[in-house]
Chains A and B, each alone.
Chain A
Amino acid sequence: MSGSAMATDATAPVSSAATVIDRATMEVDIACVGFGPAMGGFLTTLTREWTEHPDDPAFASTVAPGMPLQVLCYERADDISTGVSGIVTSARAIRSSFPYLNPADIPMATPVAEERVLYLLDPIGASRRSLTLRVGDVLLRGLGGLLGVKDSAFELPWTPGFLHKRGGLLLSMGQFNQWVGSQLMATGLVQIWPGTPVSAPIFAGNTGKDCYSVKGIRLSDQGVDRAGTPLDGFMAGMDVHAPLTVVGDGPVGAVGQALDRRLGMPPGQAQNEWALGMKMVIELPENTSLKPGTVWHTFGYPEPEIFGFLYVHPDRLVSVGIFVPSWLGDSQRTAYRYLQHYIQHPALWRYLKDGTLRSWGAKSLQESGKHGEPFLTGDGFARIGEGSGSTNMLTNSGVDEAWTTGMQLADAVVELLRAEKPFTQQNLAATYEARRRASAIEREAEEAKNARNGFHGGLVHGMIGMALAGLTHGKLSLGGTIPTAQQQIHPFSSRKVSGVKAQEAELLAEDARVGGRPLHDALMSARGWPEIELDGRLLVTQQDALLLGGKVQAMPGFADHVVFRDPNLCAQCAEKTCVAMCSGQAITQGADGAIAFEREKCVHCGACLWNCAHTPFGEHTNIDFRAGAGGLHSAEN
C-alpha cells in the first residue's frame, strides 16, 4: 500500500481531501477500461495468441516477475451482460475471430435473412414535416395502391448496397458480451471485474510531456455521499498503474472524456454529432408471422429526423428502437414517448400488438465517425472502439468495426511485447495506428466521412448527401460545417413552437417551470400526439420500463455521476433539453426550477453530456457526465 497524489484529470471527481487520501496502488501489465465489443476483440485476440504460445516470454509479467502477464479489465456496469443495443452486423471481423461461430451458441443471435427499408408516413398528422416531405406524402397516399403503400409505410423498391448486412448477424449486445466474456474468463488469462467504475486516467504529471502521458487509472471512490465527500466506510478508489492502459469505455466513458480534455482533439476533429438510441426487446405474440433474421430500417416517423429499426431474433423476440439525433434541433426532443408512438405505427403495430415488453435500454451513439476520431495513442495508452471514432456512419455499423480495432491493438501489443519495446506513443502509432490506417475499416471510414453532412439541412437534404457519398464511395459528398451539439439545440421560445399557439406554449412552459408536467411531454400532446394508452404489458410508463425492462439498480455509496456545474444556470435555462432527453427520467425539474438528479434511475446513456444548450465553461457544457456504477441490469438487451 502506498499513498498516491498522482495527477489525475483536473475535473475528475475527487474529494476535498484528495491530496491527503491514502490510496492503495496496484501494478499490472495492461489495465483495460470498459468491456464491450472493442475490448472483446482486444482480449480475445491477445488470449488466443497467448494460448497458442504459452511459453512465449512476451507473456511474462514485467511488473510481477515470475507471474504471467497481469491483464485486468474494469467494467462499470453491474455485469458484462447488461450492455444495450440491438445489433445487425456484417460480423466480418467477429467471424474471423470465431471461424466456427454457430449463432445458435449465442442466445438471441441469428443470421440476417431479410432486409427492408421502409419510409413511414405519419398516420396521426402530428409530426413536423418539410414541404418536400408533405408533397411526397400526398403523392404516396394518392398512388398508394400502385406503389404498394401498406399500413402507412412505403417499402423502398431498391436500397443501396451500403445499407445492407448480407451474410451478417443479428445480436443482442448483452448476450454477445456475456458469451465473449465467459470464454475469456475460462482461459484464466485475463480478469474482468464488473461493478468497478474507473473515474479517471492517471497522468504522469502536469507539465511537459508528462502532461499527456498515462500511467494507469484510478478507480471510483466508494463510501461517499452524493457530492463525493467521504463517509463512514469510505474506500478510496485504488490506483492501478500499468505500462499500458487500453481505453474502450465507449462514446461517453469518463477516461475517454478526460483524455480528450487533456489532449484536445486532433486539428479539425470534433465530436459534434450524436444520437440517443433507445430500444425495447419485445416478445411477439405466439401467432407472429415475423421470421428470425428479419431486419427493417425505417425513417420518416415519428419525426422525419428519427430513424428506427426492427430486428427479429429467435424465440419470438424482437429488438425495436429509434435514434433521436443531435440534428433534431428542437430543444424539447425526447425519446421514450417517441419510441412508444413508433411501435404503434401501423406497419409495426400489426406485429407488435399483444406483445410483451421484455427489456428496455438506451445509449448515446457517437455519430461523428471519422470526424470525431480523437488521438488514438499516447505514451502509455491506446483507444479502441466507439470512443475512438470507429463507427461507420454510412453503413450505420459499429460493433464489427469496434471489434476490429480491438484486434488491431492486440496484434500491435503482442508485437511490442515480443520486441520488448515500451508502449510509447511512437511505438503504438507505428504498430496499432499503422494497422488501423492500412485496414478496410479505415478505407470505409474515409468513404463514410462526409456521409452525414447534409442532415443539418433537413432529412431530404441529408438523404441526398448520404446517397451521394455512398454511391460514389465518398468521392462526392455534401460540404458544410457541422455546428457543435450545443449549437444545434434551438433556443426555446414559446412563440416559436411549431404546431402550438404561443399562449398555450407559455402556459405549458410555466407549468413545467414550477414542477408540473414536463414540457417536452406537454408539448407533444399539444401538437396532437395522442396520450399513450398504457396496458401494463407493452405500453408502460417510463418508470415501469426502468423497473420492469431495464431493472435499473444503483449500489449506495457512490457519488452522483451527473453533476451540474452551475446550478444557477440550470435554474435560468429555458431549454432544459437534458430533462427532455434523459432516458431514465433521472434528471427532473423541481418546483423551484432547480434541476435534480437521481442516481438510482440513471441508465448511463450519457444523453445529458450532449443535450445541454449552454457552454459557460468554454467548450464544456454545464453538465459533467462521470463514471458511475449501476444502471441497466437486464441481460436480455
Chain B
Amino acid sequence: MAHALQIVVCAGIVPDPLQTLEPVTGTTGPGLKNEMVLPAVLDPWAACALYEAAQLVAKNPGSKLWLVSLGPKAKLQQVMMTVGQKAVFELVPVDAPIGGFPDAHSTAAALAEAIAVLPGLDRERLLLFGGWESATRGAGVTLQLVGERLGITDQFQGVDQITLGEDGSFEVLERVEGGRHQVSVCVGTPAVLGWATGSLAEPRNNPQTGMANMRGIMPALQKAKRVELEANGLRYVSVGMPKQQRETRIEKNMAADEIARALVEWIGAE
C-alpha cells in the first residue's frame, strides 16, 4: 500500500573528497587551503539519504521530497548541476558561508527554521532524512539537533534500510558493532533517520531530471535567505587529516576473492 510521504533531506555541501585537501588554520579557526575554490559535492552520507528518499517517493505516489541545504549560493548552484540530475526534489537553499567546522547548533537552528516554514509541510507526517555524520567533521550532531528543534524524538542513526508497513509503521535497520544491524520498529512518523550508505547505487545523471529540477532550483537560489552562523567559541587544540597509508600493487588476472583476501591481510597487518 502506498503512503503519501513527506520527506525532508538535510544535506550539506563539502569539498570534493577526491581533491587534495590540506588543513590550515585561519583567523576563524581550522579550515582547508583554498576551501572556497575547491569544487564541492553534496555530503556523501547525505547524498545516500537523498537517493533513498527519492526511491521511497517514487514508490509512494503523492509523496513529496524537499532538499534543504545550507551553503553559499554559488556553491549550491554548482553542486545542483550534478545532484539535480540524479533525483527529483524541491530545493530549499539557505545561503550561508561555510568552511572549516561550522557550529552544529547554529547550523541546526538555521535548517530547522527553514524546515518549519515549508509550505504544505505536515510535521506529523515528516520523515527527516540526512547523513548520520558529515564528511567534514564527522561529529554526527547536526541532524539530531534539527530533529530535536522540530520536536521529533524518534531518531535513528546509521540507517541502511527502512521498510514501510501497511499501517503507517516502519521498520528501520541501524548499524551497530560487528557489522550487524539493529532492527527497530517505529509506530509512525515523525521520525529522524540519519543514513549510513543505504543500499542504492548512485543514480545516473539524467538530463531530463536536471531540466525538470532546474525550473525550481534557479528561482529558489535567487530567493534564498541569507543567514550568518554563530561562531561556536571552541578552541581546536589540533586538526589533521585522517591518517592515510597507501600501497599500490599491480596485479593482472587476480580473482576478486583473492584480491579481497589480500586486502584483508594488508589491513590487518596494521
Name the A residues within 8 Å of B218 (CB-CB): 188
* One of B73, B82, B204, B248 near A222 (C-beta < 8 A): B204
Q: Does B210 contact A (CB under 8 A)?
A: yes
B residues less than 8 Å from A547 (CB atoms): 248
Query: For A188, what are the chain B residues with a Cβ–Cβ distance below 8 Å?
Result: 218, 221-222
A193 touches B210 (CB 8 A): yes
Closest to A175 in B: B37
CB-based contact B18/A185 at 8 Å = no
| Interface mask (B208-234 → A, CB under 8 Å = 1, otherwise 0) | 101100100010011000000000000
- With A193-B81, A636-B20 given, is the CB distance from A79 to B204 under 8 Å? no
Given A196-B85, A219-B207, decide whether A553 and B18 contact each other with a Cβ distance below 8 A. Answer: yes
Q: Is the interface of A mostly helix, strand, loop or mixed?
A: mixed
Q: Is the CB of B85 within 8 A of A182?
A: no
A358 contacts across to B, CB distance below 8 A: 20
Asked whether B81 lies within 8 Å of A194 as measured between CB atoms, the reply is yes
Tally of B interface residues using CB under 8 Å: 32
A182–B78 CB distance below 8 A = yes
Which residues of the partner chain A approach B246 to less than 8 Å between Cβ atoms? 536, 544, 548
Alpha-carbon distance between A240 and B19 when the two chains are bound, in angstroms: 32
> Quick check: is B114 within 8 A (CB to CB) of the other chain?
no
- A144 touches B (CB below 8 Å): no
The reply to whether A178 and B77 contact each other, CB–CB distance below 8 Å, is: no
Whether a CB of chain B sits under 8 angstroms from the CB of A238 is yes
Contact check, B211 vs A26: say whether CB atoms are below 8 A apart: yes
Q: How far is the CA of A24 from the CA of B77 in the complex (A)?
A: 25
Tell me the number of A-to-B contacts counted with CB atoms below 8 Å: 92
Q: How many residues of A contact B (CB 8 A)?
A: 48
Contact B204 A555 (CB under 8 A): yes
Does any Cβ of B come within 8 Å of A604's Cβ? no
What residues on B are CB-neighbors of A107 within 8 Å?
34, 37
Q: Give the shortest distance, in Å, between B269 (CB) and chain A (any CB).
A: 18
B1 at the interface (CB under 8 A from A): no
A205 interface contact, C-beta 8 A? no
Is A20 an interface residue when CB atoms closer than 8 A count as contact? Answer: no
For B215, the closest partner residue in chain A by CB is A67
Tell me the chain B residues, 69-88 only, with Cβ under 8 Å from chain A: 73-74, 77-78, 81-82, 85
Give CA–CA (A182, B206) in the complex, Å.
21
Chain A residues near B254 (CB-CB < 8 A):
none
Docked Cα-Cα span, A389 to B34, in Å, equals 35
A196: chain B residues at CB < 8 Å are 85, 205, 207
Determine how close the nearest CB of chain B comes to the CB of A416; give it in whole angstroms. Answer: 25
| B→A interface (CB under 8 Å) | 16, 18-20, 34, 37-39, 73-74, 77-78, 81-82, 85, 201-202, 204-208, 210-211, 214, 218, 221-222, 246, 248, 250, 252
12 A-B contact pairs sorted by A residue (CB < 8 Å): A26-B207, A79-B39, A178-B39, A185-B81, A192-B81, A193-B210, A235-B204, A238-B208, A515-B252, A547-B248, A556-B201, A634-B19
